């Protein structure tokens, strides 16, 4: 099935909040998402599935200078296992590289094996731990980084092609 990734809009919020509540033990509020809609410097995109154009996931990141922080990647429970999270993450990394970002960072629950597998498969590596970072339940966060910059003298490798995974 072909999915479309597009900027989030006000009318998507009801679906985004439902996905958030279905995915996370400590979900963001609708107002938190509303503040990130167009006009804000966040990259906030939704995954839309045809033919009904249903919002099935979303991705949020900030890019500031050479660094980016990935805030959320979420796919509704009934659409998991189809590669949508990976597709959103791949598109986001390409977008970030196009914006001149050299490194992307994220935090992930140390027990979230599915997310850890996804991020590792896209070249993210653990660089630290934040003790008791998550509240519900209390749990450490692993800090991960993906270098997007091509090393000097290695012009044959393209950061945009994810050759360094």
- Which residues have a catalytic role annotated? 107, 119
159, 147, 146, 83: which is closest to 120 by C-alpha?
Answer: 146
Contact 53, 25 (CB under 8 A): no
Give the DSSP letter of residue 40: B
Give the DSSP letter of residue 42: S
Is residue 84 exposed (0-12), middle (13-18) or buried (19+ Cβ within 10 Å)?
buried
Cross-strand pairs, 75: 57
Helix axes 113-121, 84-98, angle to 10 degrees: 40
Quickly count: other Cβ atoms within 10 Å of residue 138's Cβ. Answer: 9
């Amino acid at each position: 099935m072909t999915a479309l990734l597009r900027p989030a809009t006000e009318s998507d919020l009801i679906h985004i909040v439902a996905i958030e509540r279905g995915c996370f033990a400590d979900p963001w509020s609708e107002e938190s998402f509303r503040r990130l809609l167009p006009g804000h410097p966040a990259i906030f995109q939704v995954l839309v599935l045809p033919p009904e154009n249903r919002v099935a996931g979303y991705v949020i990141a900030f890019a500031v200078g050479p660094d980016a922080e990935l805030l959320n990647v979420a796919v509704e429970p009934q659409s998991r296992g189809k590669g949508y999270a990976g597709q959103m993450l791949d598109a986001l990394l390409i977008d970030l590289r196009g914006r001149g970002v050299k490194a992307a960072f994220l935090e992930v629950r140390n027990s979230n094996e599915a997310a850890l597998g996804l991020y590792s498969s896209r070249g993210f590596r653990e660089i630290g731990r934040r003790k008791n970072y998550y509240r519900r339940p209390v749990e450490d966060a692993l800090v991960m980084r993906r270098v997007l910059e091509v090393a000097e003298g290695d012009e044959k490798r393209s950061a945009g092609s994810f050759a360094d995974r």
